[in-house]
Amino acid sequence: MSRSLLPRGVLPRFRQMLAAAPVVVLEGPRASGKTALGEMLESAGLLATRVDLGDPTLKAAAAASPASFIDNLRVPAFIDEAQLVPELPLAIKRRVDREGRAGMFVLTGSSRLGRAQLGGSDPLAGRSLRQRLWPMTQGELAGNPVNLVPTLFDRKPLPAAPPGARIGKADLIARIRRGGLPGMAGVTGSVEPLLRGQLMQEYVEGVLFHEIGRRHDRAEMLRMFRYLAASTARIANLSAIGNDLKASRITVVERLASLDASFLLHQLAGHRSSEHRTLTAHPKIHAVDCGLAAWAARLDDDAPPAVFGALLETFVVGELAAQASWAYPGETLRHWRDTARKLEVDAMILHPDGSAIAVEVKAGEDVRPDDLKGLRTCLAATEAKRGVVFYSGAMVLQFEENIWAVPVTSLWTGLMEEPRRSTKRRGVAARL
């Protein structure tokens, strides 16, 4: 490889997908590392061809004759920015149907691929697997892609945290502000706040220009994104959003869908025990990258508790979403609310076997019994088997049979390998 590349936690799962399906579709935000993942696959000898349709010449050739372009590629072929030529999925389908073997094509896109062709159907249905690439986790940025999610499901009791697990607010703010988009300058180093803001704005404007084009007014889309990102981790109340932005409900729905499809926002579906009711629950809106949310909210060292808390929630949700995607198929994160009792948990991690972990995020070193109300109710009302509070303290603590407090730093340091004797804190606050 011509440049040093940080390891990605998704790579082992991605290689499994290549061995199982003719087409693997890699979707995710612009500058999240999709091209770099192609370089890793090429370096490992898993590709015969790698093309980037961001190159105007290649894009013109593919658009002029999609079938010829696809038929002349040596496979396995990696096609970057495949969404730029909407006719490609059908041409790929025809070649796959003729040759029918695993690992023929990898398609990447910074907007949804394939689902808008053929009147809304997907020409690659039944022939492809899809993998979402999230912004880099804190572990990946440090060169060590820790995956805590399987530990949360599998280990009983939870292991201890390594030494030095406590983290201060200033360190958390610095990590949130940095974000996880590896393609943006300043991710691995420090930049002046003014320059960081300029980088973030140019990034968002670039996505709006390339992915949304003329379908919406870009100035209004930028305004809507900044409004939603600045109030990240909010319930998608379409009427309230429309009132604040002076836009109709239909306009809000269309623009929100476009921001989601271009991977600027992430809608965390609401979860209820009955699956058909899940589809009617209001989603929770997160910025796809906490650095973008911090820019939109103008996060500084003196951030109000509510602003810091919402940004920390988006930070943790992003870490968990990425790590869960390395281990389990599909969308595995949701949120949960009991509107009658006015209780909620910030996220639920769903396991393929039907079990779940309920997650709360606490912006501080104290965990008190009252902080556990939502987790207790969620455990009683859903299939969740364990509740976890991520906090900035130093120790893994057991409060009740299935409720634990876990240092937020464990998301990138992991927990110790050896099991530990649990420390229970019943009816008192823990500050450790």
Give me the DSSP letters along 332-345.
-EEEEEETTTTEEE
pLDDT at 116: 53
Top pLDDT among 280 and 255 is at 255
Do 179 and 307 lie in one domain? The reply is yes
Residue 160 sits in the same domain as residue 116: no
- Domain annotation covers residue 364: yes
Write the CATH number for 72.
3.40.50.300
Residues whose CB falls within 8 Å of the CB of residue 261, separated by 6 or more in sequence, listed in order: 111, 112, 211
pLDDT bucket at 171, cuts 50 / 70 / 90: very high
Same domain assignment for residues 142 and 128: no
Q: Which residues contact 313 (CB under 8 A, 6 or more apart)?
A: 232, 233, 286, 346, 361
- Among residues 103, 132, 161, which one ends one of the domains? 132
Domain edge (last residue) among 132, 159, 192: 132
Tell me what the pLDDT averaged over the chain comes to.
88
Q: Is there a single domain that holds both residue 318 and residue 207? A: yes
CA distance 308 to 301: 9
Question: Is pLDDT at 210 greater than 70 in this prediction?
Answer: yes
Residue 264 lies in a domain: yes
Q: Could you tell me if 66 and 42 are in contact, meaning their C-beta atoms sit under 8 angstroms apart?
A: no
Three-state secondary structure of 260-301: HHCCCEEEECECCCCHHHHCCCCCEEEECCHHHHHHHCCCCC
- Residue 4 maps to a domain: no
Q: Are residues 189 and 109 in the same domain?
A: no
Domain membership of residue 24 (yes or no) is yes
Is residue 258 domain-shared with residue 161, that is, in the same domain? yes
Among 107-116, 125-134, 182-191, 256-265, the least confident range: 182-191
Q: Which of 106, 132, 158 represents a domain boundary (last residue)?
A: 132
Rounded CA separation 290/296 (Å): 10
Please write the tens of the pLDDT for every residue from 292-312. 999 999 988 888 999 999 999
Q: Answer yes or no: do 233 and 310 share one domain.
A: yes
d(CA 250, CA 42): 44
Q: Are residues 46 and 103 in the same domain?
A: yes
Residue 334 lies in a domain: yes
Q: Do residues 106 and 186 share a domain?
A: no
Question: Residue 431 has what pLDDT?
Answer: 45
User: Is residue 432 scored above 50 in pLDDT?
Assistant: no
Label residues 124-134 b or e (16+ Cβ within 10 Å = b): beebbbbbbbb
Which residues lie below 8 Å from residue 224, measured CB to CB, with a gap of 6+? 245, 247, 252, 255, 256, 259
Same domain, 122 and 196: no
Residue pair 395/407 in contact (Cβ under 8 Å)? The answer is yes
Identify whether 314 is part of a domain: yes
Residues 79 and 94 in one domain: yes
Domain of 101, in residue numbers: 11-132
Sign of dihedral through CA atoms 397, 402, 408, 412?
A: positive
In a domain, 5, yes or no: no
Which band of pLDDT confidence, cut at 50, 70 and 90, is reported for residue 119?
very low
User: What is the torsional sign of CA 245, 248, 253, 255?
Assistant: negative
Calculate the alpha carbon distances from 241 to 10, 231, 237, 244, 246 in Å: 35, 11, 6, 5, 8
Count of domains for the chain: 2
Confirm whether 6 is domain-assigned.
no
Interhelix angle 193-207/218-230, rounded to 10 degrees, is 130
Q: Is residue 50's pLDDT more than 70? A: yes
Q: Both tokens of residue 244?
A: 């604040």
Q: Judge if 296 and 352 occupy the same domain.
A: yes
More confident residue, 116 or 331: 331
